[in-house]
Structure formats: C-alpha cells, structure tokens
Amino acid sequence: MLDARRKRLVYRANYRGFKEADMILGGFAKANIETLTDEEIVQFEDLLGAKDHDIYNWISGKSPVPANYDTPLFERLRKFKPVP
C-alpha cells in the first residue's frame, strides 16, 4: 500500500494539464512509485515542480536538461515508454 506522499506524487504526475506530460510522468509514476528510494522521491517531487513543456522538451531532447534535473532518475524517465 502506498503512503500518502507517494499517492500525492502519482496524482500530481497524472493530472498535469498537458496530455503528453500526463502520459509520461503519470505512467512512470504508476509503474515505479513503489520502488523509488527516498532520494528519488525527492528528485521526482522537485521535477514535478517544473513546467510541463520544459519537462517534455528535456525528455524529447529538444532542450538540454538543467544540471539539477540531470539525474539517474531522469534518465530512467527519459527511457520510459508509456502504454497508450
């Protein structure tokens, strides 16, 4: 069972307001939230504070990833393939 913090993250990741970001971030959260370390939870929370279009551009390689988000967690997110 997920704790409240992880449940909030899954919700935030799924309801961003930008369909592509919802699919990627929400899908990643649903698939991985139970296995994220405490440090990765903090990194994911921080990432969810960024703008959807920025995140999408970083994932798609249209813009460079800022150093503070360029983590192994972000690389896992970049490689994640959401199921439509």
Each residue's pLDDT tens digit, 8-28: 999 999 999 889 999 999 999
**b/e string for 46-79 if b means 16 or more Cβ within 10 A?**
ebbeeebebbbebbeeeeebeeebebebbeebee
pLDDT digits (tens, 9 = 90+) for 37-54: 999 999 999 999 999 999
Range of the domain at 64: 4-79
63: in domain: yes
Looking at the structure of the chain, the number of domains it has is 1
9: in domain: yes
Q: Which pTM was predicted? A: 0.91
84: in domain: no
34: in domain: yes
41: in domain: yes
Structure-derived torsion over alpha carbons of residues 68, 72, 73, 77, reported in degrees to the nearest 10? 110
The CATH number for 27's domain is 1.10.150.250
Mean pLDDT, residues 63-77 taken together:
97
